[in-house]
Amino acid sequence: MIKIAFYATIKPPDHHIASGDRLVARNLMAALSLAGYEVELASRFIAYSKREAREILEQRKSEALAEADRLIDALRLDPPEIWMTYHPYCKAPDWIGPKVSAALGIPYVTVEAARTGQGFENGGDRWADWRLEAQSGILQADLNLVFKPTDRAYLVDLLGSADRISMIAPFIDATAPSDLPKISLPSHWRPGAPVILTVGMMRPGKKVENFKLLASALKQLQALHWNLVVVGSGPQKDTIHGFFSEIDKDRLHFAGVLSHEEVLAMMSAVDLFVWPGWKEPIGMVYLEAQLMGLPVAAFDSMGVSLSVYHGKTGLLAAEDDLSSFVDNLSSLISHPLLRRDFGHAAQQSIVEHHSMQAAAKTLKKALNELVDC
């Protein structure tokens, strides 16, 4: 059985802070196992930094190279056949994978190597030094697996060709969940009024902007019957709750932080999933919502259209076109048959195109060609 050493630069897949990145990493490990590989988390080293200071870069790199030396000694007698690193980018370069792979003479693979738009201000790039470190590692990869066409274009430009690049569709475990906890919605809500769900961490940056966009849209639709469940919390909780202050409080339910199982249960209890998705790289939550049979309303921003198909599984508005977003929300709120048809198509789409099984086939084909199996 082919052994794969797996590493995630941002945080380990089982880190206690939940996020889409951690979910993708866990799903990758599961899909690799399903494809017949023996997968082991090789390192828990965190390369990620919130700040670009040069002293932090030097410290991270020094610690990472020391970790690489430790791993080379530990793995030399029984090396893996492949090293795979998830999501190397400017804020989390991979210094470990390239060094270990070269020392052990094994292929080095990246997944979702990306260039973000962060740090570009006034014609400069605050993360330029970090970005060069990330690119140095990516250039050494034997194969780069990417989810998004924008990442593919970035790598083609960086590498000079598409020879070492392969696409993979975003995916989740599409097994029908069982034994979900019971979820209670406010008893005073009017029966038959569609319930909208949104899920997001309440932290600074684009999350705040997304909640602001959603609140701005819903303010314009208060003549329609609907109720809203907001799942999530964080340091910007008060600011985000304030965005919804002009909406009738009787139709709002702030559920706070829920477990993954409780989020899925909530999805099974509502009628429509809405997350604007402004500057959303992929949006794993869209896959989960559609798996639970929910139609989606969002903006066609960055990676959203990789999993939500306009006119088939939901409605997407052009990025920054709030008026169209409002119109789409109005249509989905007002037409239960449209929600039903989109919801059925969404569930089928996830099973057929975005499942663990589909990903396992893609991974197996790409990796077996790499090691000549």
Task: Specify the residue for token string 């030399």.
Answer: 76
Model pLDDT, residue 373: 54
Do both 229 and 99 map to the same domain?
no
CA distance 154 to 158: 6
Structural domains of the chain, count: 2
CATH of the domain at 218: 3.40.50.2000
In this structure, are residues 11 and 17 in contact, taking their beta carbons and an 8 Å threshold? yes
Task: Specify the residue for token string 């190279």.
Answer: 65
Do both 347 and 212 map to the same domain?
yes
In our burial notation (b when 16+ CB lie closer than 10 A, e otherwise), range 318-338 reads: eeeeeeebbbbbbebbeeeee
Domain assignment present for 233: yes
Do both 299 and 219 map to the same domain?
yes
Do both 38 and 153 map to the same domain?
yes
Model pLDDT, residue 89: 96
Do both 334 and 361 map to the same domain?
no
Domain assignment present for 243: yes
Do both 345 and 366 map to the same domain?
no
Which residues does 163 contact at the CB level (< 8 Å), separation at least 6?
Answer: none
Do both 29 and 160 map to the same domain?
yes
| Domain enclosing residue 101, as ranges | 3-171+355-370
Model pLDDT, residue 281: 84
Which residues does 102 contact at the CB level (< 8 Å), separation at least 6?
Answer: 108, 140
Domain assignment present for 186: no
In our burial notation (b when 16+ CB lie closer than 10 A, e otherwise), range 221-258 reads: beeeebbbbbbbbeebeeebbebbeeeeeebbbbbeeb
Domain assignment present for 361: yes
Work out the angle at residue 303's Cα, subtended by the Cα atoms of residues 298 and 304, and round it to the nearest 5 degrees: 20
Domain assignment present for 223: yes
Which stretches of the chain drop beneath a pLDDT of 70? Answer: 117-119, 373
Domain assignment present for 189: no
Do both 157 and 279 map to the same domain?
no
Do both 240 and 101 map to the same domain?
no
CA distance 154 to 186: 47
Do both 337 and 216 map to the same domain?
yes
Do both 132 and 226 map to the same domain?
no
Do both 167 and 50 map to the same domain?
yes
CA distance 291 to 355: 10
Domain assignment present for 34: yes
Domain assignment present for 176: no
List pLDDT tens digits, range 196-208: 999 999 999 999 9
pTM: 0.84
